[in-house]
Structure 1
Amino acid sequence: MVAWRWSQTSAKVDRKGVHTDNMTQPFPLKPPFKIPFKSPISEVPDFLQSEQLLPSFTAGTVTGIIGVIRAISYAALIFSGPLSAHLGLGIGMAIFSTAVIAIVASLTSSFGGTIATPLAAPTAVLAVMAAELAAALPASTPPMDVFLTVLAAIAIGSLVTGVLLFCLGRLRLGSWLQVVPYPVVGGFMAGTGWLLIRGAIQVATDSDLTWQTLDVVFQTSVVWHWLPGLGLGIFLYLVTRRYKHYLVMPGILLGSTVVFYLVLGVLDLPVEAARSQGWLLGPFPAGGLWHPLQGEDFTHIHWQAIAGQAGNLITLALVTLLSLLLTKNGIELIVEQNLDLNRELESVGLSNLASGLGSGMAGNQALPSTLLAHKIGASHRLTGIINGITCLAVLMVGAQFLAYLPKPVIGGLLFYLALTLLVQWIYQSWSTLERVDYFTVVAIGVLTNAVGFLEGILAGFAMALVAFAIRYSQIDVVAQITSAASYPSHLTRTPQNRQWLQVQGEKVGIVQLQGFVFFATANQFLDQVRDRLLDPQQPSLQFLILDLQQVQGIDSSAALNFQKIRQMAVNKQIELVFTGLNKSVEDKLVAQGVFQDSKTSPPRIFEDLGQGLAWCENQLLQEKGKQASMTSLNGSQPKVISA
């Protein structure tokens, strides 16, 4: 097969006669911003500055206390139901994770004021995995073996997440990750919100909220256990929306605990009686809270059961990655500073690796705590270090005070976290998202709870791609269909030739395409070209120019339709001309066989529409024996394209 390419060897002239060769930009392009790199070690002397010490100590202590409270609630979410006997060790694991992640992230993040902790969404995945592991192990499995297996799975999840994120950052792949469709993120958050609702009820009642347990959960005696937590969660949500002070949440949680014990006093209910009725956490076994995996522990771990959780482990890593992308964007808006995504990936990856090596859970940047530190004026690395030290101090105190934490308060915090997600993504998004995107959010939220996180996210990506294809197919890729009579070349011609071409130009059809031509839009332009070729009321064509100057790319479906157009042109003895092909489009057309030999001459290829028009006009003039003006084609030589 052959196809002729006309290449201008002298200075290039565009259709408007503007010389384009040797045109260079007067100044080199520069990025809009440069992210300064400041070594954490270089900031150590700054820690001693008084203007940093006080705000960093205040913000670090407050966010550390909040981190401990959330760690307790996350542990209660994971170690609930049959795992509740190991809640004390679970709390120690969560607090340790909070401390390590906060310290490592503060030292390695591109933003010094970053506060990182375990987050709700990855914790929800861990809760699902822990419950499935506990259910999969034989009933005869010793309780401690069950705990060690769950703890090992949590640690492996942190290590897998850490390796993935660190490698993505080290390989500088951050720019490729910011393509997650917004509805997918929203659906993932909505699904997390509903899982937190279920977790809050399970913490308060030891009963999961499912279709099978609805009659149990809504029994009067059971309702009284989770209803106070729901009320506290709603109160927390309303007050924190109205008042943004950093002491509001800790104050409400402390006040709620005081009110709880006042009610016990009024009812003359002893603490032990309240514990036996399920109103308090515990009892906890004596000893330390933190129990990292050690040598002999590995012999009690059921590795085969953990291998069966490969899907949840992958989901955990993906969910943490999604959380990182979402949180990073939120932090940038708050602090008005661009964060280096690749460095954040490395930072969070290292934090998770450190947590996993200590048998801890996965974590990420915490937007609310980072915002709090920023408002206090403590956007320094010292803040995250003090945050971690605060958590470690609580860890060293032990489980004595944890046994006095009311379940309604822990459940209320979980309800609050759930409400923030559900209100944003189910209620508020109704007025901000298109209906297709909104129902995608809802569908993902339902699927993550009915089937699983990984399945819900994958289904969300599929729905987002379908929605994108439908939307893009509504964009007309045919920018214009005209002829050389109304769109002549800019060659200098005699008045007689110009007048003659004004009449004969109808024999030269021009179809200008734009955008990306793929399966959803390929038939659109094929139908329009077919209608033009088969319309008996239109003049017959001798030449058909397909101008792809504004086409960024095509897929195989579009390439097939170009082949169909070629066949129609051959059948009607129409000369086919391509203009403005980029290398990618040309390669796909060659692979499809558009330029193969046929009964007529192969398609001509020109660099731009102006040259293609000039060639078609000259062919018309030569056929009539007229003098063809070759003003801008002097020096052109044909090339052969081989496929």
Structure 2
Amino acid sequence: MRVPALRGLLPDVSEYAEMRLHWRADLAAGATVGIVALPLALAFGISSGAGAAAGLVTAVVAGLVAAVFGGSNVQVSGPTGAMAVVLVPIVGDHGVAALALVGILAGLMLMVTGVLGLGQLIGLVPWPVIAGFTAGIGVIIFLQQVPLVLGAADDVGTRPLVAAFHSVQHADWSAVGWPLVAVGIVIALMLVVPLWNAQFPVSLAAIVLVTLMVEALDLPLARIGEIPSSLPMPSLPVFDTALVQTVFTAAVAVAALSAIESLLSARVAVDLSGDARYNPDRELVGQGMACVASGVFGGIPATGAIARTAVNVRAGARTRLSVITHSLVLLGVIYLASGPVSRIPMAALAAVLMLTAARMIPYAEIRTILRATRSDAFVLLLTMVVTVLVDLIEAVQFGIVVAALFTLRAVARTSGVFREEISSDPDPADDRIAVYRLTGSMFFGASERVRSEVRAEGDVEVVILAFSQLRTLDATGANTLAEIVRALEKQGVTVLIKGVPNRLMALMRSVGVISSLRDRRHLFHTFPPALEHARSHVRRSAAAREQALAAPGSES
């Protein structure tokens, strides 16, 4: 790979050129998003099964590394709900200790993907898949909070829908009154306060208020528990070959999710800020480095966080200083406020995530897609259902495959062949000439239909295949055309080909379409010479038949 291309994946001093103009706004935006990120980092750490401390460490370490090395100036990275959903079964199958190895492996995969220039592939994910995926994540995050509130949790790794159902089924309803009150207070404040002041960090304020109330009344609510008062020392996990093989598939899933969510979040940042300076390949490299660093410090894999990125942009962020400030604010919490944070009730964090999950679901987009086409609606619903009931990565895979199949069917329907009337001055020979025009794309999805349509019926002696409106052609389509030509020639029908686009000629020659013609002169650029040749062929055939009938010994 060329050095200039690699250089574009590395930080540059010019990225901070505007900092002297916007440093006040960046510091304020960073402080704001840091306050907003605190409860989310704690909650997503708990939801992943790794614990609140791991979520906080991830927000600090991964957020800082991605801020410096990522491809967006304003994207905020850290633990997210989607990643927490993926990590739960990994913790259930392999234990919390495996997360460091999974994160490092996933980070290395992301870095390789970015160096190979695969960041643009995010554009291949259809809109209905993204909407269904996002909605499914929202549902899962909401379901994950039910056991935290009701206090009747299944084993780690149980499907969220099953775990939520069991929690409701086996809850001690005489003991859940106060947790439900805490949830109600937090949600009510988060809904009402923004009506007066949208910039106020209401989620943090609501958690502080509920924590003070629980402490004052000495209520029996489960708490977060001990939070480290400093960053843990970095250490590498044991790279045991057997363990690497065991968790490799999980690492692939984590890398895929981190890539998808980070690139989508970065695109949202571009749309919100109007700043088109965004490098998707560098974003993958930066997120990969963030995952590696987070794993080394005992955190969990991170991704770009759409909600926190949106808060950062709307708070006035312009440069990477805002994202760096966000991490430093959270670092201050670790060193200065770990004691108070450890007393936060789990129900309060669950309430924040419940409302966050409900707001994640793109209701307007879902309504639009459901009203669009039946195939788009099916892809959206399929992706959402598979996300909730099976697996996030499989949901994206299923969604993309099904969307591709629907697209291929649509392209195949708009591509095809029809018999065309000869519009020039009538000629008696025209009754024995059939003109077929191929349009659109001749590919594997349309080849069989074209094969069934092109035929020589009755007295047809010449078939003209018109290709001037053929847009694309693949090997299957070209092979089908060659088979059609050979079949017609075998029947004694002369085939003429007209108007092959220059970009398709090499493929048609290599697959054998042109060589299947009876004579190389049966290839024409325009229609009039092809028609004149067909008419002269019919006349010669008619004359030959008359001579045969007039010859001595022929039947009278």
Q: TM-score, normalised by structure 1?
A: 0.72
Q: Which residue identity lines up with residue 438 of structure 2 in the other structure? A: L
**Correspondence for 1:614 among 519, 526, 529:** 529
Tell me which amino acid in the other structure corresponds to 2:99: I
Are positions 1:386 and 2:325 aligned together? yes
Distance change >3 Å, CA 262–CA 442, structure 1 → 2? same
Q: How many residues align?
A: 524
1:322 alignment partner, one of 260, 277, 288: 260
Of 461, 468, 471, which aligns to 2:400?
461
Indicate conservation of the 8 Å contact 1:183/1:440, yes or no: yes
What residue number does 2:13 align with? 41
Structure 2 gap segments, 5+ residues each = 1-7, 155-159, 541-556
Mapped pair 1:362 → 2:301: yes
C-alpha distance in structure 2 between counterparts of 1:226 and 1:579, whole Å: 77
Amino acid at match of 1:106: A
In the TM superposition, what is the alpha-carbon distance from 1:421 to its structure 2 partner? 2.9
Aligned equivalents of 1:555, 1:224: Cα separation in 2: 65
Q: Distance in 2 between matches of 1:233 and 1:528?
A: 66
Aligned residue in 2 for 1:22: none
Aligned-partner SS, 1:512: strand
1:120 corresponding residue in structure 2 = 81
Bigger relative contact order, structure 1 or 2, given CA contacts below 8 A and separation 6+?
1
Amino acid corresponding to residue 410 of structure 2 in structure 1:
R
1:225-624 map, 5 Å: 227-228=180-181, 231=184, 235=188, 238=191, 245-247=198-200, 250-259=201-210, 261-262=212-213, 265=216, 269-270=217-218, 274=219, 277-282=220-225, 284=226, 288=229, 290-292=231-233, 294=235, 298=238, 304=242, 307-338=245-276, 339-397=278-336, 399-422=338-361, 424=363, 428=367, 431-478=370-417, 480-483=418-421, 485-486=422-423, 502-530=427-455, 533-534=456-457, 536=458, 540-581=459-500, 585-586=504-505, 589=508, 593-595=512-514, 601-602=518-519, 606=523, 608=525, 610=526, 613-618=528-533, 620-621=535-536
Q: What is the alpha-carbon distance in structure 1 between the residues aligned to residue 341 and residue 420 of structure 2?
A: 79
- Work out the percentage of aligned pairs sharing the same amino acid: 19
Task: Give the Cα–Cα distance (whole angstroms) in 1 for the partners of residues 85 and 31 of structure 2.
Answer: 26
C-alpha distance in structure 2 between counterparts of 1:70 and 1:179, whole Å: 30
Taking structure 2 as the reference length, the TM-score comes to 0.82
1:96 pairs with 57, 61, 66, which one? 57
Q: Which residue matches 1:15?
A: none
Would the alpha carbon gap of residues 474 and 433 (structure 1) be closer, same or farther in structure 2, given more than 3 Å must change? same
- Answer whether contact 1:190 1:425 (CA < 8 A) is retained: no
- Bigger mean CA deviation after superposition, 372-381 or 402-411: 372-381
Aligned-residue RMSD, C-alpha? 3.6
Change (3 A) 1:159 1:197: same
Q: CA contact under 8 A between 1:233 and 1:415: conserved in structure 2?
A: no
2:42 is aligned to: 72
Give SS of 2:387's match.
Answer: helix
Q: Deviations over 1:320-365 (max 9, x none)?
A: 1111232232222212232232232233233333323333322233
Classify 1:545/1:210 alpha carbon distance in 2 versus 1 (closer, same or farther; 3 Å).
same
CA contact (8 A) 2:72 2:266 kept: no
- 1:40 positional shift: 4.2
Alignment partners' CA distance in 2, 1:312 and 1:425: 33
| CA spacing shift, 1:226–1:551, aligned 2, 3 Å | farther
Q: CA deviation at 1:567?
A: 4.0
Q: CA deviation at 1:482?
A: 1.7
Rounded to whole Å, the distance in 2 between the matches of 1:440 and 1:233 is 35
> Any idea what SS the aligned residue of 1:547 has?
strand
2:153 aligned to 207, 210, 218, which one? 207
Question: 1:225 touches 1:408 (CA, 8 Å); kept in 2?
Answer: no
8 Å CA contact retained: 1:77, 1:202? no
Structure 2 counterpart of 1:575, which letter? T
Q: How big is each residue's C-alpha offset from its partner over 1:556-584, in whole Å with a ceiling of 9 and x where there is no partner? A: 54345324422442244222122344577
Deviations 1:114-172 (A, max 9, x none): 322222212211122112224xxxxxxxxxxxxxxx24x32233323322332232222
Counterpart Cα distance in 1 of 2:340 and 2:120: 46
Deviation at 1:45, TM superposition (A): 6.7
Structure 1 residues 213, 369: CA separation in 2 closer, same or farther (over 3 Å shift)? closer
C-alpha displacement at 1:450, in angstroms?
Answer: 3.0
